């Protein structure tokens, strides 16, 4: 029996999410629901040009409009923001770099006055040559977006090439790629493209900023990482992080988009001009689409060398990610996407090169899957083509080459906790792989993986009260994924108290402790470990008290299933709390977790990897080109299912999001880089009518360091779905689409052209 033996009774039990009641009654508070006394409303003036020098800005008329309290322009707030490359001003300073970029902002007594004031601001621009294509942007004669690239503050992981638009470059090599190709019987080379996708969370971006007379800033904001925001702002503004107080209420979806520094900097710029008054900025849907961020559009070339028997010998991948006008998280999206670029296979010779290039468009940023789905789409599409050309079954070809426990992955990291093979077999079985269902019906499979960005750290505080209630203080952001519920279950399980005695207090940097971010599918793994540490520190303190009380050695006391065992005596932490704590007493446990790694920052490949397989069955209408995903199956290795219902819904929801990505979602840019479809009418996301059967399958290959063996979940479902659908469409109509979205127009046109020829 381990020192802290406990069963996972609560973990395995179906219990309604702890945030469900608030959400079905409309009591859950989101940032936009917050009204503060004396609050002002901010609005933003935006650039109409993709690239232009700002010659003059006149704000006097706006300032004189009754009801206007402040107008701010970039030159008055000359700070640069960015996670690993500080290149982005809150408001454009000398020049604008994309259509929609913030240029000036107004705070007024209401939104209508603020809006009217915007129309009174006069900006004189001098248009500059611009570039929209990332490959053209890397040419020597391309217009340069950031002349000061060399001077920007940056993390050592970012490699910039001053005088060009390249704002990160990575190369990973294992084995000898040339030797690998020389040893291959066949070599395949294909290029694949992914579009810019909108995160499209239903809740818009909202920030309220208030600056006190002592300069301290308070933010209520839609941001997935309160502490990273605090630290990032402090670095850029050159102030002490403790002078920034960040509060993040419930978030209405994020999918990676609500991170970094977005509205916060503009809200602070305004709030500093109206000390004491809170300033609220809430974006319109059009602003969300045109001025926040997108996924990175990409061009990925995969060259694969194989033996006749289907053994993969070598793979070279060149990935180009379109950064847009500012780096945002692009440099690390590139790094991560390239880490996955060879696919989850045993390949002795690997070389991966990645380029991140500025263009005069809305910035690319983190999107669920963080660079992986672009490369997995390429690799997994090509895998099917290779299999067919070698006369192999795509399933067998994958099974022959995929990584298993103990293998070395393409990056040279040893594989642990890998249920990939099981995921693939389950998916194949579930969709009836190999069985033909009809003329225009096809089946496709794809496998993939995704690591968590490593290292990162989490702290959690728990407070046990004298009535056996427990508070968990955590800086996780509940954005729909359900981690808040899972942390409550872990705490209840560790201490053996009922779930309704556990309160989870989230994301307020004056109250809740450090956490790197609610990103990278990391929360349950990192915070779960920190929480278990915190709970066990509570138990240790109670043991100390009991040892003293009964005059025995601490080692004579066991804790199991919520009870302290002292000889024949059993003291329940929950029921007998008054034997431990007096009225008003509390015990506090402080937990911390950071993975122990040997490599230097960012060089490590990931403390855990999620493994995933998708299988889909589609039916294509050859006349209209409409694709119906009749059945989609996802199997994901999650280590340990921490809440079956929440987990299954993450798998289902991510799959549905991916179906939308693959079949119809794409931000369209006009010749000036302006987004042409900035609304839900023209940018279609899946509705209830678009979905059919989605089957989630949970595979549990425990991770040695995960809480109860758990890994992450959230991003997995958006890694393989795109290729699985493309492969199914190939199976249905014999056409390989190397670019998504695979729209009805593209399919119908292709079929028509085939018939003509």
Partner 1 sequence: MKKTSVTFTVNGTKYSLDISPNETLLDVLRERLKLKDVKAGCLSGECGACTVLVNGKAMNSCLILAVEVDNTEIVTLRGLSRDEKLHPLQEAFIRESAIQCGFCTPGFILTAFSYLKENPKPSIQEIKKAIAGNLCRCGSYPNIIKAIYKVGAGNE
Nearer to partner 1 by Cβ, of 523 and 650: the residue is 650
- x-or-dash pattern for partner 1, window 614-653, by CB under 8 A? -------------------------------xx--xx-xx
Q: According to CB under 8 A, which residues from 254 to 293 bind partner 1?
A: 255, 284-285
For residue 16, state whether it binds partner 1 (rule: CB under 8 A).
Answer: yes
Please select the residue that binds partner 1; options are 29, 182, 552, 754, rule is CB under 8 A. 29
Minimum CB separation of residue 362 from partner 1 in Å reads 18
- Helix H or strand E segment including 135: helix 134-137
Give the gyration radius of the chain's Cα atoms.
27
CA distance 608 to 713: 11
- Residue of 551, 531, 544 lying closest to 581 (CA atoms): 544
Please select the residue that binds partner 1; options are 3, 33, 147, 405, rule is CB under 8 A. 33
Phi, psi (degrees; rounded to nearest 5) at 63: -65, -30
Minimum CB separation of residue 506 from partner 1 in Å reads 14
Q: According to CB under 8 A, which residues from 196 to 215 bind partner 1?
A: 199-204
Distances in Å between the Cα of 37 and the Cα atoms of 34, 245, 275, 463, 670 are: 10, 18, 13, 32, 43
CA distance 655 to 664: 14
Minimum CB separation of residue 187 from partner 1 in Å reads 39
Q: Provide the 8-state DSSP code for 144.
A: P
Q: Provide the 8-state DSSP code for 158.
A: -
- x-or-dash pattern for partner 1, window 681-720, by CB under 8 A? x---xxxxx-x--x--------------------------
Piece of the chain touching partner 1 by CB under 8 A; list 16-24, 163-171, 488-496, 618-626 = 16-24
Question: Chain centroid to CA 282: how far?
Answer: 22
Minimum CB separation of residue 92 from partner 1 in Å reads 26
Minimum CB separation of residue 35 from partner 1 in Å reads 7
* Inter-residue contact 721 to 692 (CB < 8 Å): no
Minimum CB separation of residue 196 from partner 1 in Å reads 16
Minimum CB separation of residue 284 from partner 1 in Å reads 6
CA distance 331 to 601: 14
Minimum CB separation of residue 689 from partner 1 in Å reads 5
Q: How many residues bind partner 1 (CB under 8 A)?
A: 54
Nearer to partner 1 by Cβ, of 150 and 202: the residue is 202
Please select the residue that binds partner 1; options are 67, 143, 175, 253, rule is CB under 8 A. 253
Residue 346: is it exposed, middle or buried by C-beta count within 10 angstroms (0-12/13-18/19+)?
middle
* Inter-residue contact 653 to 487 (CB < 8 Å): no
The CB density around residue 186, as the number of other CB atoms within 10 Å, is 14
Please select the residue that binds partner 1; options are 4, 30, 188, 514, rule is CB under 8 A. 30
Minimum CB separation of residue 28 from partner 1 in Å reads 5
For residue 37, state whether it binds partner 1 (rule: CB under 8 A).
Answer: no
Nearer to partner 1 by Cβ, of 298 and 655: the residue is 655
The CB density around residue 601, as the number of other CB atoms within 10 Å, is 11
Please select the residue that binds partner 1; options are 10, 32, 91, 269, rule is CB under 8 A. 32
Nearer to partner 1 by Cβ, of 454 and 523: the residue is 523
Nearer to partner 1 by Cβ, of 303 and 614: the residue is 614
**What six digits make up the tokens of 88?**
């982005």
Distances in Å between the Cα of 485 and the Cα atoms of 10, 452, 490, 641 are: 12, 21, 9, 13
Half-sphere exposure in the Cβ direction for 52 (13 Å, CA): 20
Q: According to CB under 8 A, which residues from 660 to 679 bind partner 1?
A: 679
Helix axes 372-390, 394-401, angle to 10 degrees: 110
Residue 109: is it exposed, middle or buried by C-beta count within 10 angstroms (0-12/13-18/19+)?
middle
For residue 251, state whether it binds partner 1 (rule: CB under 8 A).
Answer: yes
Minimum CB separation of residue 450 from partner 1 in Å reads 18
Backbone φ/ψ region at 70: left (φ over 0), alpha (ψ -120 to 50), beta = beta
Nearer to partner 1 by Cβ, of 250 and 355: the residue is 250
Phi, psi (degrees; rounded to nearest 5) at 570: -125, 125
Piece of the chain touching partner 1 by CB under 8 A; list 23-31, 405-413, 452-460, 564-572 = 23-31
CA distance 666 to 681: 13
Nearer to partner 1 by Cβ, of 25 and 555: the residue is 25
Task: Note the residues at the interface with partner 1 (CB under 8 A).
Answer: 16-17, 19-30, 32-33, 35, 199-204, 250-253, 255, 284-285, 479-482, 645-646, 649-650, 652-657, 679-681, 685-689, 691, 694
């Amino acid at each position: 029996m381990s020192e802290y033996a406990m069963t996972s009774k609560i973990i395995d039990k179906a219990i309604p999410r702890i945030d469900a009641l608030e959400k079905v009654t409309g009591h859950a508070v989101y940032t936009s629901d917050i009204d503060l006394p004396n609050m002002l409303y901010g609005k933003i003036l935006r650039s109409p040009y993709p690239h232009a020098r700002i010659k003059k800005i006149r704000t006097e008329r706006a300032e004189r409009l009754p009801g206007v309290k402040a107008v701010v322009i970039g030159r008055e707030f000359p700070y640069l923001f960015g996670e690993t490359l500080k290149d982005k001003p809150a408001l454009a300073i000398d020049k604008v770099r994309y259509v929609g970029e913030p240029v000036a902002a107004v705070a007024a007594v209401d939104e209508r006055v603020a809006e009217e004031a915007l129309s009174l601001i006069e900006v004189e621009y001098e248009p500059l040559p611009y570039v929209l294509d990332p490959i053209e942007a890397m040419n020597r004669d391309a217009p340069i977006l950031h002349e000061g690239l060399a001077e920007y503050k940056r993390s050592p992981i970012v490699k910039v090439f001053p005088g060009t638009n390249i704002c990160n470059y990575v190369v990973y090599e294992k084995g000898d790629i040339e030797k690998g190709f020389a040893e291959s019987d066949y070599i395949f080379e294909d290029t694949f493209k992914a579009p810019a996708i909108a995160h499209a969370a239903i809740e818009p971006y909202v920030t309220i900023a208030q600056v006190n007379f002592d300069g301290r800033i308070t933010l209520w904001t839609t941001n997935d990482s309160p502490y990273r925001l605090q630290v990032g702002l402090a670095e850029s503004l050159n102030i002490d992080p403790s002078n920034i107080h960040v509060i993040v209420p419930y978030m209405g979806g994020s999918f990676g988009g609500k991170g970094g520094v977005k509205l916060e900097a503009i809200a602070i710029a305004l709030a500093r001009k109206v000390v004491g008054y809170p300033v609220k900025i809430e974006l319109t849907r059009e602003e969300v689409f045109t001025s926040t961020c997108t996924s990175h559009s990409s061009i990925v070339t995969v060259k694969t060398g194989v033996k006749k028997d289907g053994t993969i010998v070598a793979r070279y991948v060149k990935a180009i990610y379109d950064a847009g006008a500012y780096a945002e998280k692009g440099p690390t999206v590139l790094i991560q996407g390239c880490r996955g670029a060879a696919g989850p296979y045993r390949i002795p010779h690997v070389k991966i090169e990645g380029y991140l290039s500025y263009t005069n468009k809305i910035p690319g940023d983190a999107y669920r899957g963080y660079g992986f789905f672009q490369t997995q789409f390429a690799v997994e599409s090509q895998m099917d083509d290779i299999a067919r050309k070698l006369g192999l079954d795509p399933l067998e070809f994958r099974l022959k080459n995929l990584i298993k426990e103990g293998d070395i992955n393409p990056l040279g990291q040893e594989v642990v906790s890998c249920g990939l093979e099981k995921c693939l077999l389950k998916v194949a079985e579930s969709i009836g792989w190999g069985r033909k269902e009809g003329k225009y019906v096809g089946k496709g499979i794809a496998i993939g993986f995704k690591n968590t960005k490593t290292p990162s750290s989490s702290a959690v505080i728990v407070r046990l009260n004298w009535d056996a209630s427990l508070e968990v203080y955590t800086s996780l952001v509940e954005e729909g994924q359900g981690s808040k519920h899972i942390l409550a279950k872990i705490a209840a399980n560790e201490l053996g108290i009922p779930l309704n005695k556990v309160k989870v207090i989230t994301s307020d940097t004056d109250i809740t402790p450090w956490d790197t971010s609610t990103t990278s599918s990391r929360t349950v793994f990192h915070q779960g470990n920190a929480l278990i540490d915190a709970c066990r520190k509570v138990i240790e303190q109670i043991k100390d008290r009991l040892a003293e009380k009964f005059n025995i050695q601490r080692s004579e006391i066991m804790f199991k299933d919520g009870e302290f065992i002292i000889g024949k005596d059993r003291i329940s932490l929950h029921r007998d709390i008054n034997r431990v704590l007096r009225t008003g007493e509390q015990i506090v446990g402080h937990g911390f977790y950071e993975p122990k790694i040997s490599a230097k920052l960012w060089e490590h490949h990931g403390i855990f990897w999620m493994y995933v397989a998708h299988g889909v069955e589609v039916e294509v209408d050859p006349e209209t080109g409409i694709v119906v995903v009749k059945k989609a199956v996802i199997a994901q290795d999650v280590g340990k299912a921490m809440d079956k219902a929440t987990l299954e819904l993450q798998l289902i929801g991510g799959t549905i999001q991916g179906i939308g990505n693959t079949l119809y979602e794409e931000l369209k840019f006009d010749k000036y880089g302006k987004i042409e479809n900035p609304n839900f009418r023209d940018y279609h996301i899946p509705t209830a009518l678009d979905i059919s059967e989605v089957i989630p399958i949970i595979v549990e290959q425990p991770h040695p360091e995960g809480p109860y063996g758990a890994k992450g979940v959230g991003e997995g479902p958006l890694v393989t779905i795109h290729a699985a659908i493309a492969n199914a469409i190939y199976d249905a109509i014999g056409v390989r689409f190397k670019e998504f979205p695979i729209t009805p127009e593209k399919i119908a046109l292709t079929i028509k052209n085939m018939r003509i020829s």
